[in-house]
Amino acid sequence: MFSFQVGSLLNIALILGTVLGAAALLIWVERRLLGFFNDRLGPNRVGPFGILQSVADVIKLITKEDWIPPFADKLPFVVAPIILPIVMLLSFAMIPFAPGVGIIDMNIGLLFVMAMAGLAAYSAMLGGLASNNKFALLGGLRAAGQMISYEVFLGISLLGVVILSDSFSLRGIVEAQSDGWYVFPQFIGFMVFMVAALAESHRWPFDLPEGEAEIISGFNTEYSGMKFGLFFVGEYIGMLFMACLIPVLFFGGWHAPFGLEFGNEIISGLFWMAAKTSVFIGFFVLVRAALARPRYDQLMSYGWLVMLPLSLLNLLITGAIVLMQGS
Amino acid sequence: MNIDLFPLILYGGIVIAAIIGLLVASYLLGQKRTDHASQDVYESGVLPVGSPNIKISVPFYLTAILFIIFDLEAVFLFAWAISIREAGWVGFIEVFIFIAILVAGLIYLWRSGALEWRTTRQMDDRQSIKGEGGVVNIKRLGDKTSETPVKGSH
């Protein structure tokens, strides 16, 4: 009955549809959850429980003016918002959702994901530079400095997982976790990656590139209509991607905890993958509601002086233990 | 290992077409009007002051240089991590020396102030905050440095 195969047309259509739908739903989920955290209701008017709020927002954004300011550099101004959602959606091609469900199974999956995360920095940088607005320039600079700093140990923190599984393929990493999740031997790596992932997708509390209390809206100050919408939805797709990547790398992907598998292995795998992703989405929203934004110099010295040495130490210790066990 | 790249190319094509399609749809459907302030730079509602070509603080440039050094380091570490079992203890000792040199570089950068975002004046102010009798910025008080600050309790 179910004959899923990685890379089939059905898979591509279903995954793209699910990711776009989930990203739209995520905007509503976050606003609604933040509402509850702040002791208010959140959007609850459009559709049941306000679930169609994102649809209404998209219709509104599409019918807004496609405005390019006369003082902006036209080409980079238009290209910048396109980059972010495209690279974030392309990263999803590597995610193994369940046995047989995925777009492509590459042996360099992790490197591809890292490359796409690096390209995402161009979006905020070009957007800030092309706007010819002082606040946008400051936001673009902050985005560039923050993203390249945290990208250094975003990669290094994952090397422990690569050493343990002996593979760059995300599907291989999940399969290697069938007898134990990597969050236990790689707890330091997991914590460092979590912080780096928040900073890379400039989610709260690392939203200094946008810092609305200081620099209006940062790099997207001059953007409006659908171009702003693309920045916005790109950020949510990025958050969804990180919430999918963390279970894949550290929490066993589609493997069920405590042997709680049921029925078909694909259905069970998709259920557990979705459950783990939801937990991390909830965590990201909770972090946004709970933590305040650090100062920029605190952010930089924290990254370079705490997180980078910690991830290098984690790498060396993991390597030494693996070699000791091997010999 | 041969990988059929067709699904990735197809998926990439659909994604790029969908995103550009959204922008084109917005261009075709959006309203088109110009108000008297549409042409202005947005600066919280006031008229823009000065040019956006401002001087950029040096640490941003230093950060970019540091990024090149340490991200190249990460590239070498990626190659080691995938081949750790083949490289064995010899490879581990080499990587240990490699990381040690880079960490020494990081410590040098930190001690020489390359990772410092505050100006010297701000550093001085911070150091003089710990005055006698609690938190008081002695420098800001000018020449009254010898006086103990007034306490509110008595």
When divided into structural domains, chain A yields a total of 1
Which domain range does residue A224 map to? 9-326
Tokens of residue A33, six digits: 């959850």
Q: How wide is the angle at C-alpha A230 spanned by C-alphas B67 and A71, nearest 5°?
A: 80
Q: Touching check for A249 and chain B: CB below 8 Å?
A: no
List the 143-172 stretch of A: residues with Cβ below 8 A of B: 144-145, 148-149, 151-153, 155-156, 159, 162-163, 166-168
Condensed to tens digits (0 to 9), the pLDDT of residues B87-104 reads: 889 999 999 999 999 999
Bridge partner residues of A201 (DSSP): none
Query: Is A197 contained in some domain?
Result: yes
| B144 — pLDDT class (breaks 50, 70, 90) | very low
Q: Give contacts of A182 with chain B, Cβ < 8 Å.
A: none
**DSSP reduced 3-state for B7:** helix
| Chain A residues 72-101 within an 8 A CB cutoff of chain B | 78, 82, 85-86, 89-90, 93
Contact call for residues A83 and B15 (beta carbons, < 8 A): no
| AA identity, residue A115 | A
Q: Within a domain: residue A124?
A: yes
Smallest CA-to-CA distance from B81 within A68, A96, A166 is with A166
> A178: distance to nearest CA of chain B, Å?
20
pLDDT at A221: 84
How far away is chain A from the Cα of B135, in angstroms, using its nearest Cα?
A: 21
* B26-72 pLDDT, tens digit each: 888 888 877 777 777 877 777 777 777 777 777 788 888 888 888 88
pLDDT tens, residue by residue, A288-316: 889 888 888 888 888 888 999 999 999 99
- Characterise B12 by phi-psi region: left (phi > 0), alpha (psi -120 to 50), beta (else): alpha
Which band of pLDDT confidence, cut at 50, 70 and 90, is reported for residue A222?
confident
Which chain A residue shows the shortest CA-CA distance from B103?
A: A309
Mean per-residue pLDDT, A80-89:
92
Render pLDDT for A129-186 as a digit per residue (tens, 0 to 9). Answer: 888 888 888 888 888 888 888 888 888 999 999 999 888 999 999 988 888 888 888 9
ipTM of the complex in this document: 0.84
Contacts of A312 in chain B (CB under 8 A): 99, 102-103
Domains of chain B and CATH, by start: 57-119 (1.20.58.1610)
Contact in structure between B85 and A326 (CB atoms under 8 Å): yes
State chain A's mean pLDDT as an integer.
Answer: 88
pLDDT attached to residue B135: 54
- Alpha-carbon gap, residue A51 to A38, rounded angstroms: 19
The β-bridge partners of B131 are B134
Determine the pLDDT at residue B136: 52
Q: At what angle do helices A9-37 and A53-62 cross, to 10 degrees?
A: 100
User: What average pLDDT does range A43-60 have in this prediction?
Assistant: 87
* B99 at A interface, C-beta within 8 A: yes
Residue A268 burial (CB count, 10 A): 18
Residue B14: which of A11, A16, A166 has the nearest Cβ? Answer: A16
| Whether residue A247 has a cis bond before it, omega within 30° of 0 | no
Residue A4 lies in a domain: no
Q: Which is more confident, B38 or A205?
A: A205
Is residue A2 domain-resident? no
- Is residue A1 situated within a structural domain? no
